[in-house]
Chains A and B, each alone.
Chain A
Amino acid sequence: MFMAQLLASAFRMATPILFTSLGAIYSERSGVVNIGLEGMMIVGTFWGAYGAYNYGPLWGVVFAIVAGMTLALIHALVSVTFKVDQIISGTALNILAAGLSRFFCLVIFTMATTSPTVKGFTTWNLPLLSRIPWLKPMVTNLSPLIVVALVLVPVSAFVLNRTVFGLRLRSVGENPLAADTLGVNVTAMRYAGVLISGALAGMGGVYMAMEHTGMYLEGMTGGRGFIALAAMIFGNWTPTGALVASLLFGLAGAITIRVQIPGIPYQFIQMLPYALTIAVLAGVVRKATPPAAAGQPYERGEK
């Protein structure tokens, strides 16, 4: 029973990471590094809360997606069209998102750091499974968004590996020049990748505000955008891998809240995702293979 509760908690904590790391995969697979995911999550938390507060949970999600995509559009414009360093653009967006959210929170809710409480979706109990007692915490009072996130994993895997869109997206992330000579529109694919990542990061954000906490709190993302990047790397840029990594990181989060392990301060468990990611990148765990052209702006050669 306790294990099930812990796992249920892990799933809840993994969901925002999962959404965002799926988004990160689309962006990086198209060749655009997206450090701005944290910022996109932040605007997702705020505008999600705003939408949910005024128009209900569904609109919360819509607002969050639009907010995330708006920031993503800036990222695409700056880094794909203007070919500015993707890291710089992402960093600026994070600063911008923090400022914007605080500003609008103050203007709209007259408080700088919190929104009023908002109502989320009606929770689901999975039929049949919820009758099994020991599974109960896992399958009752489930946010629909958790289910959406989980469904998005096979969907993303299919999109990336089995569709024309996915093939072209991967090809511009690996070798934009080759893709271009074959008539693939590099700019369009990269915009698509970045915009999808913004939408998904926005969903990760709105999940936190609307479903997890029930309000917008300044700084509530607490670096989950970066953890999502870590999950993407840990999952070797694949949706299934991102799921495993997100669950692992979610579990680490759940443990820090629910379990006291004597001798290990909880901060050390919180470091785990970051430390593991470094280990993966250093090749201690296994080889990390990022898309070959990630981070490089594409310039069509003259002559």
Chain B
Amino acid sequence: MAKLVLELTSVTKTFPGVVANDDISLTITEGSIHAICGENGAGKSTLMKTLYGLHQPDAGSIKVRGETVRIDGPGRAVALGIGMVHQHFMLIPRLSVMENIILGYEGARLGILDYQRAQREISELCARYGFKLDPARLVSQLSVGEQQRVEILKVLFRGADILILDEPTAVLVPQEVRDLFRNLRELKTQGKTIIFISHKLDEVMEIADRITVLRRGKTIGTVEVKDTNQRQLAEMMVGRPVFMELNRDEREPGPVMLEVRDLRVQGEAGHQALSGLSLQIRAGEVYGIAGVEGNGQTELVNAIIGQQPIQAGVIRMKDQSVVGRRTREIRQLGVAYIPEDRHAQGLVLGMSIWENSVLGYHLDRQFRNGCIQNREAARRYAEELIEHFDVRTSSAEIPALALSGGNQQKVILAREFTPDPDLIVASQPTRGLDVGAAEFVRQQILAMRDRGKAVLLVSADLEEILSLSDRIGVIYGGRIVAEVPGKEATADQLGLYMTGSKPGKEAATP
């Protein structure tokens, strides 16, 4: 029987307003890959930060190799042999791989760096664990997968034998995921313990030995991979049988409202973000885009709303081309937009609610007299929106930052839906919202569909896509690789397309 390398007993951590970790207990065996699963906000990250010394637990105890310890900082964690690979890489692009690895742990004599020794040690590490990496290259020249390897090497270089990987596959393409898994298995055979945080069940099933599921800060249970299946895990994660039916009338879709054909867009990093994407959305239907993040969703949305120059292709709205048009003109054609990040893109947090509720519509005749703003009209309008969408606030004068996340999203929905748009582009509309607010947002989207609007829904939440969409397009590598009617789609089937492991036939011949 392998010995326990990590034991958590009744670990609790509260933040103002939330219990992030509530009485969590779990044990991790040496030399195993242990996955921690849960939805966004389940408390996975908090727990790992506690392990890495970035938070102090309010209650509970942690034992490392049988000894009770207090991990009061990352330095302590490193000394205990715990290493963390952050989801967002902590790398310095302008430095070399080697410099990134040794930084803070240079082991130099007289303050002078010994590059040769460092290079030798890193090469040895690479050889031992089967990592392919040239220590002399600049990190800025590496692919995402290679950068992740640098992160792992950083941890190994510091002598860690417990590695925490926070959502390590979120940023990887499937090929890179396979490489990562190969590396992880190699690490495991050499005796390292790996804690693998993820909400992607297929990956967890593939790589982990044992899985602990968290939900709303609590441990739901720990299961052996060989004794479980994806459906059971999903139910543990969500807390109810998944894929429950949302009340939805079947409708005959109307005319095509949005047509995208052979769209090619270059991404920020210079890669081909969209490589010939085509889709059509009709009035009265929700078209869901399913896909692993980073496969071109952001670029697609930005191209439609005029925030992204395109290389080639057609975007037509109600038979009018919108390519090359300004965002303002496109919005005037009747496009509503629920942005992915409401703080960054949706609201001016320092402005009042009424000012936010006319943002983008502030040049409408009703809100101005010539070039003077009609503040009274805007205020009255905002009060109507507050009433209709049940925004919880004492007045329209208070700044948007004083609202809760759900109420902020309601302000955006109210602003975007009230002018009676024809096309709604909704990007991650329920991200970070609590259950009640998310349900409200979903209902509003369906209500718009029932009123004959076309809806483009982009979401990382497969369940959301499945329950809202009339048709689902799977995006992979900047193309729609499969299109499935919403009724017939299953998570398993979509998952296969999303990871590119099953080439879509449906979309191959349009």
The short answer to whether A and B are in direct contact, CB under 8 Å, is: yes
- A-side residues, CB < 8 A to B, are 162-165, 167-168, 170-171, 174-175, 177-179, 181-184, 289, 291-292, 303
Bound Cα distance A291, B105 (Å): 22
Decide if B113 touches A163 in the complex (CB within 8 Å).
yes
New A-B contacts (12) at CB < 8 Å, excluding given A163-B108, A168-B104: A163-B113, A164-B113, A167-B102, A170-B92, A171-B103, A174-B93, A175-B90, A179-B92, A183-B104, A291-B94, A292-B92, A303-B15
In the complex, which of the residues A162, A178, A179, A303 has the most CB atoms of chain B within 10 Å of its own CB atom? A178
Chain B, 82-137, CB within 8 A of any chain A CB: 86, 90-95, 99, 102-106, 108, 111-113, 115
B277 to chain A, nearest CB (A): 32
B108 contacts across to A, CB distance below 8 A: 163-164
Interface presence of B74 (CB below 8 A): yes
Decide if B104 touches A184 in the complex (CB within 8 Å).
yes
Bound Cα distance A181, B105 (Å): 12
The chain B residue sitting closest to A162, CB to CB, is: B113
Query: Which residue of A162, A170, A174, A182 contacts B104 across the interface (Cβ within 8 Å)?
Result: A182
Decide if A167 touches B90 in the complex (CB within 8 Å).
no
Our count of residue pairs bridging A and B at CB distance below 8 angstroms stands at 64
B91 contacts across to A, CB distance below 8 A: 175, 178
Interface presence of B254 (CB below 8 A): no
A181 to chain B, nearest CB (A): 5
A177 to chain B, nearest CB (A): 7
Contact residues of A: prevailing secondary structure: helix
The chain B residue sitting closest to A301, CB to CB, is: B54
Query: Which residue of A164, A171, A292 contacts B111 across the interface (Cβ within 8 Å)?
Result: A164
Between-chain CB contacts (< 8 Å), 11 pairs? A163-B108, A164-B111, A167-B106, A168-B104, A174-B94, A178-B103, A181-B74, A181-B86, A182-B90, A182-B105, A184-B103
The chain A residue sitting closest to B45, CB to CB, is: A303
A294 to chain B, nearest CB (A): 12
The chain B residue sitting closest to A291, CB to CB, is: B94
B111 to chain A, nearest CB (A): 5
Decide if A178 touches B92 in the complex (CB within 8 Å).
yes
Bound Cα distance A303, B54 (Å): 8
Bound Cα distance A59, B454 (Å): 79
Of all A-B residue pairs in the complex, the 4 with the closest CB atoms, nearest first, are: A182-B104, A178-B90, A183-B104, A174-B92
**A167-B99, A168-B103 in contact; A181/B113 too (CB < 8 A)?**
no
The chain A residue sitting closest to B15, CB to CB, is: A303
Chain B, 400-433, CB within 8 A of any chain A CB: none
Decide if B93 touches A292 in the complex (CB within 8 Å).
yes
B117 to chain A, nearest CB (A): 13
Bound Cα distance A179, B94 (Å): 13
**A162-B113, A164-B108, A168-B104 in contact; A183/B75 too (CB < 8 A)?**
yes
Bound Cα distance A99, B113 (Å): 43
Decide if A182 touches B111 in the complex (CB within 8 Å).
no
A175 to chain B, nearest CB (A): 5
Bound Cα distance A174, B92 (Å): 6
A167 contacts across to B, CB distance below 8 A: 95, 99, 102-103, 106, 113
A178 contacts across to B, CB distance below 8 A: 90-92, 103
In the complex, which of the residues B93, B102, B113 has the most CB atoms of chain A within 10 Å of its own CB atom? B113
B103 contacts across to A, CB distance below 8 A: 167-168, 171, 178-179, 182, 184
Bound Cα distance A183, B75 (Å): 7
Bound Cα distance A45, B111 (Å): 33
**A162-B113, A163-B113, A165-B111 in contact; A171/B75 too (CB < 8 A)?**
no
A174 contacts across to B, CB distance below 8 A: 92-95
**A167-B106, A184-B103 in contact; A177/B90 too (CB < 8 A)?**
yes
Bound Cα distance A184, B93 (Å): 17
A245 to chain B, nearest CB (A): 20
B102 contacts across to A, CB distance below 8 A: 167
B104 contacts across to A, CB distance below 8 A: 168, 179, 182-184
B151 to chain A, nearest CB (A): 10
The chain A residue sitting closest to B109, CB to CB, is: A164
B75 to chain A, nearest CB (A): 6
A182 contacts across to B, CB distance below 8 A: 90, 103-105, 154
B55 to chain A, nearest CB (A): 8
In the complex, which of the residues B78, B94, B104, B112 has the most CB atoms of chain A within 10 Å of its own CB atom? B104
